[in-house]
Amino acid sequence: MNEFSPRQAKFIHDHRRHHHMVTFFRFTIFFLFLAVWEVSTRLHLIDAFIFSSPSRIVQTFIEMSKDGSLLRHTGVTLYETLLSFSLVILVSFLTATILWFSNTISEILEPCLVILNSLPKSALAPLMIVWLGANTRTIIVAGMSVAVFGSIISMYTAFRETDAEKVKLIYTLGGNRLQVLRCVVFPSSVPAIISILKVNIGLCLVGVIIGEFLAAREGLGYLIIYASQIFKLNYLITALIILCIIAFCLYQAIQKLEHHIHKTRKF
Amino acid sequence: MKPLLEVSHVSYSYHTLAGETPALSDITFTVDSGEFLAIVGPSGCGKSTLLSLLSGLLTPEQGTIHINNSPISTHQTNIGYMLQKDHLFEWRTVYRNVILGLEIQNRKTEENLAHVEQMLRDYGLSAFKNARPSELSGGMRQRAALIRTLALDPSLLLLDEPFSALDYQTRLNVCDDVYQIIKKEKKTAILVTHDLSEAISMADRIFILSKRPATIQKTVSVHFDPSELLPMKRRHAREFKEYFNEIWKELNQNE
């Protein structure tokens, strides 16, 4: 290893200390919050029936793990989210490609996309139940509907923003429009596509939960609605915490993917 | 001998809803094989339009362009075009950038790839074959871009201010490099530039274009003694200043 100059060593030391301090306070605040919550329910400062408590949540968690319902609900939500996410990416990639190919088509469809994108998608959910039935299909379509229009617009914009000179280069090398797409437009849109993935994984989760509120027998969204109706707040808050964990993990997965792509492409 | 390139009575206008902007009007000239032609003119006079027409990216509204006696069509392959920036793709290695044209035209034959290898060796890039473009210096990037163009073995090379993105010092060196490469590969070249000294230091013949719509205002034949003087050396030659003054005057009459 290289010898550092004293000033470099001090810089690294300070940097680490700052990093440790941030981590320390994050954990402290988290545990302090749990402690205050637990203690105030024990002392009956707040009602544990309504606010639940960390110990009750842990208990619920263990109970639900034992009878397998936790795994089932989480698995269903995760499966529906990932499926609708994949479909969103597939559909918006294909649509954006078609729009890029034909200016006429994109001009014709622009108002439709803008309207569909700004429409509150939860308003569509009851319609979907009528059309598709109260089943997994509806939930996946609900998940897609939240994300897909915005995703198409962002991806098409990313394709359009390809450096015109780079496009010209392909033409000067004798390429056609398909080769422009393959050699310039797709590779130069990779960073934009990754940020679209990041936004949409969250949106799909939102859509799936909305769908499960209305049309499910399984899944975390169903669990939340069910728990609120029978006043089992322990279940509700457990479901919320699992949702937090899922959202975090999905985001991290894409972050990892981004990191990996950056490393292989070296920029 | 028949000239390599024949441009006759070419005119071109740009159309927008706000109106028509004539860019070129009645341009006629020929270029012989092996010649180095430079085109200078005030900025925005339609120099780049002319190159786009020559490369087949645009079709002339009037007039004809023939290369080797056949009319120029879109998507043809025997014309190389070097743009202002090198546009090497960061997501490809230097080697895969250089063979981009061959890849696009599906001409990755053993012979063509061997030619690329040879050029990479000759022009000092073989050690950087697997590097990323960002690891190259400005001069090396420009050489890589030139090899990418030459890999397709074009009979005519179009250079659209290829040094304008470089800093001054690099620019002078790259100018020498590119000149030598073009001469060594025995290419016919047309250089578009607004830098008079660059035109004089590289070209055999210089066209001065008028303001938009551009016409060929004057043609200056450039002779140095000895004739194979490199661009950097030409800048120090006695004749350089005379040519410079002649063209400078001509350009300023424009105003």
Domain layout of chain A by residue ranges: 6-46, 57-265
Dmax of chain A from CA atoms? 79
Q: Give the closest of B77, B90, B148 to A267, CB-based.
A: B90
pLDDT at B88: 93
Most A CBs within 10 Å, among B103, B104, B105, B142, to test the A interface: B104
Alpha carbon of B135: minimum distance to chain A alpha carbons (Å): 11
Residue A18: band (very low, low, confident or very high) from pLDDT cuts 50, 70, 90: very high
Residue of B nearest to A265 (CA): B91
A57-265 has which fold? MetI-like fold (1.10.3720)
| A165-171 mean pLDDT | 92
Cβ distance of A168 and B101 shorter than 8 Å: no
Give the chain B residue nearest A261 (alpha carbons).
B91
Contact B89 A163 (CB under 8 A): no
A168/B57 touch (CB, cutoff 8 Å), yes or no: yes
**Mean pLDDT of all residues in A173-185:** 91
CB-CB contact of B31 with B156 (8 Å): yes
Chain A with chain B: Cβ pairs closer than 8 A:
56
Chain A residue with minimal CA distance to B152? A173
Testing the interface with B: which of A172, A194, A267 to mutate, by most B Cβ within 10 A?
A: A172
- Pairwise CB contact (< 8 Å): B84 & A165: yes
Query: Please, is B235 exposed, middle or buried when counting C-beta atoms within 10 Å of its C-beta (0-12, 13-18, 19+)?
Result: middle
pLDDT of residue A163: 93
| Residues across chain B | 255
Q: Do A267 and B91 touch (CB under 8 A)?
A: yes
Q: Is residue A153 very low, low, confident or very high in pLDDT (cuts 50, 70, 90)?
A: very high
CA distances, B124 to each of B82, B121, B136, B140 (Å): 19, 5, 11, 8
* Nearest CA-CA distance, residue A171 and chain B, Å: 7
Residue with tokens 């950038």: B97
Q: Which residue of A has its CA nearest to B151?
A: A173
Q: Please compute the mean of the pLDDT values over residues A144-150 and round it to a whole number.
A: 93
pLDDT value, residue B74: 56
Count Cα neighbours of B47 within 13 Å in the Cβ-side half-sphere: 26
pLDDT value, residue B255: 58
Contact between chains at B132 and A267 (C-beta distance less than 8 A) = yes
Task: Tokens for B106, please give them.
Answer: 């599906």
Residue A145: other Cβ atoms inside 10 A: 24
- CA A21/CA B253 separation, integer angstroms: 71
Burial class (CB in 10 A: 0-12, 13-18, 19+), B109: exposed
Q: Are A200 and A85 in contact (CB under 8 A)?
A: yes
Question: How many Å apart are CA A227 and CA A69, to the nearest integer?
Answer: 13
**pLDDT band with cut points at 50, 70 and 90 for residue A251:** very high
Cβ-defined contact of A187 to B89 (cutoff 8 Å): yes
* Helices A186-215 + A69-101 axis angle, to 10: 140
Mean pLDDT across A227-243: 92
Measured between alpha carbons, how far is A70 from A60 in angstroms, rounded to an integer?
10
Q: Which of A249, A204, A242 is nearest to A220 (CA)?
A: A242
Residue A267 has pLDDT above 60, yes or no: no
With contacts defined as CB-CB under 8 Å, which chain A residues touch B192?
Answer: none
- pLDDT, residue B254, reads 62
Nearest to A171 among B57, B103, B148 (CB): B57
pLDDT the model gives residue B247: 87
Q: What is the ipTM of this complex?
A: 0.86
Which DSSP letter does residue B214 get?
B
| Backbone φ, ψ for residue B164 (5° rounding) | -65, -20
Which of B55, B59, B76, B87 is best to mutate for the A interface (most A CBs within 10 A)?
Answer: B87
The C-alpha angle with vertex A203 and arms to A200 and A205, in degrees rounded to 5, equals 115
Q: Which of A173, A263, A266 to mutate to test the interface with B (most CBs of B within 10 A)?
A: A173
Query: Does residue A233 have a pLDDT over 60?
Result: yes
pLDDT of residue B167: 83
Contacts 24+ apart (CB under 8 A), B69-72: B69/B2
User: What span, in angstroms and rounded, lies between the C-alpha atoms of A183 and A176?
Assistant: 10
What tokens does A235 get? Answer: 């279940």
In contact, B215 and B46? CB cutoff 8 Å: no
In this structure, what is the dihedral angle of CA atoms B75, B77, B81, B87, given to the nearest 10 degrees?
80
Q: Which two tokens stand for residue B148?
A: 């990418």
| Confidence at residue A266, expressed as pLDDT on a 0 to 100 scale | 57
Contact between residue B197 and residue B235 where contact means Cβ atoms under 8 Å apart? yes
In the numeric block, the tokens 């975390």 are attached to A220
Q: Residue ranges of the domains in chain B?
A: 5-253
Residues 6+ positions from A152 with CB-CB distance below 8 Å:
A91, A92, A95, A96, A99, A113
Residues of A in contact with B148 (CB under 8 A): 173
Tell me how close the Cα of A184 comes to any Cα of chain B, in angstroms.
8
Taking only the tens of pLDDT, chain B with its 255 residues reads 678 888 999 999 999 898 898 888 899 999 998 899 999 988 778 888 899 898 888 888 999 998 888 887 755 657 889 988 889 999 999 999 999 999 998 889 999 999 999 999 988 898 999 999 999 988 889 889 989 999 988 888 999 988 887 888 888 888 888 888 888 888 899 999 888 888 998 899 999 988 888 888 888 888 887 777 888 888 888 888 888 888 888 888 765
Q: A161: closest CA among A199, A182, A188?
A: A188
Q: Which two tokens stand for residue A110?
A: 């622009």
Cβ of B152 within 8 Å of Cβ of A175? The answer is no
Among B57, B132, B134, the residue with its CB nearest the CB of A172 is B57
**Whole-number percent of chain A with pLDDT over 90:** 78
Tokens 């001054």 correspond to B168
Answer whether B27's CB lies under 8 Å from B10's CB. Answer: yes
Tell the CATH superfamily of the B5-253 domain.
P-loop containing nucleotide triphosphate hydrolases (3.40.50.300)
Could you give the angle at which helices B168-184 and B138-150 cross, rounded to 10 degrees? Answer: 30
Distance from the B196 Cα atom to the nearest Cα atom in chain A, whole angstroms: 25
